[in-house]
């Protein structure tokens, strides 16, 4: 079945440690996106990539980094510079670059203690 | 920048019709999308409007007025499974900006 896979579903890390969240898609989509969701709030864009080896900052990129070495993969690293990293992280992909319809993974809930 | 407003909560009874409004202020605008998210789950795409008017998909319809910077999602024949959060999202330059979501509670 085609889709987007995020792993792991739950992740715990100690403060000060970097952590990488995985996102893989087999939908052959060009564009991929990372969002952060805090309780009771909408999704805020962290980074997005519309083509391999290229990506752009979203609205809240500080403290995060990404890479897009393969079309299928768009990992997100939450660095120690991110001041409040505990959140629900959602990866999405879209056909083309218009982003009119995004397909989301099941999310990773990151807790930093 | 972009800002979107939608009601935080809506409650309706099974079988009823409910309308969730979304107003936006944006520097650029390509279209308006709607997503449904059940608690703790992945958002799923419901509809997209690029032009003024009504788009119908089964029990769900979405409306857009570009001149009024306004749209709404209409849910008909409400079912218990429709209890979820609903987000509008403005599309511009290949990016989506989401509203804070409307929590819909459907009561028997």
Q: E strand or H helix at A94, and its extent?
A: strand A87-94
**pLDDT (average), residues A23-33:** 95
In B34-93, the residues whose Cβ lies within 8 Å of chain A are 35, 40-45, 48, 50, 87, 89, 91
Q: What average pLDDT does chain B have?
A: 94
What is the per-residue pLDDT across B25-84, written as a single tens digit (0 to 9) for each? 988 888 999 999 999 899 999 999 999 999 998 999 999 999 999 999 999 999 999 999
Closest to A46 in 3D by CA, of A5, A8, A18, A74: A74
Mutation target to probe the B interface, by most B beta carbons within 10 A, among A100, A103, A107 is A100
Output the six-digit token pair for A103. Answer: 């397909």
Which pLDDT score is estimated for A40?
A: 83
Output the six-digit token pair for B50. Answer: 């690029």
Q: What is the least distance, in Å, from the CA of B21 to any CA of chain A?
A: 15
Q: In this structure, are residues A88 and B21 in contact, taking their beta carbons and an 8 Å threshold?
A: no
Contact B94/A at CB under 8 A: yes
What is the per-residue pLDDT across A75-109, written as a single tens digit (0 to 9) for each? 999 998 898 999 999 999 998 777 788 999 999 99
Q: Which among B41, B89, B94 has the least Cβ separation from residue A31?
A: B94
Q: In this structure, are residues B29 and A98 in contact, taking their beta carbons and an 8 Å threshold?
A: no
Q: Which among A48, A101, A105 has the least Cβ separation from residue B95?
A: A48
What is the per-residue pLDDT across A57-68, written as a single tens digit (0 to 9) for each? 999 999 999 999
């Amino acid at each position: 079945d085609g889709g987007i896979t995020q792993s792991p579903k739950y992740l715990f890390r100690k403060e000060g440690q970097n952590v990488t969240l995985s996102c893989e898609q087999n939908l052959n989509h060009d564009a991929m996106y990372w969002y952060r969701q805090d309780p009771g709030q909408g999704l805020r864009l962290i980074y997005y990539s519309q083509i391999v080896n290229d990506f752009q900052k979203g609205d809240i990129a500080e403290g995060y980094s990404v890479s897009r070495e393969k079309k299928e993969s768009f990992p997100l690293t939450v660095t120690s510079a991110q001041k409040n990293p505990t959140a629900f992280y959602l990866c999405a992909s879209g056909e083309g670059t218009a982003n009119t319809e995004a397909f989301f993974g099941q999310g990773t809930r990151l807790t930093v203690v | 920048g972009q800002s979107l407003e939608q009601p935080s909560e809506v409650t309706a009874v099974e079988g009823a019709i409910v309308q969730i409004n979304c107003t936006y202020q944006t520097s650029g605008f390509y279209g308006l999308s709607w997503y449904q998210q059940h608690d703790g789950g992945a958002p799923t795409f419901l509809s997209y409007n690029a032009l003024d008017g009504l788009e119908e998909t089964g029990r769900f319809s979405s409306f857009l007025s570009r001149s009024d910077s306004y749209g709404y999602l209409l849910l008909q024949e409400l079912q218990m499974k429709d209890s979820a959060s609903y987000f509008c999202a403005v599309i511009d330059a290949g990016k989506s900006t989401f509203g804070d979501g409307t929590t819909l509670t459907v009561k028997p």
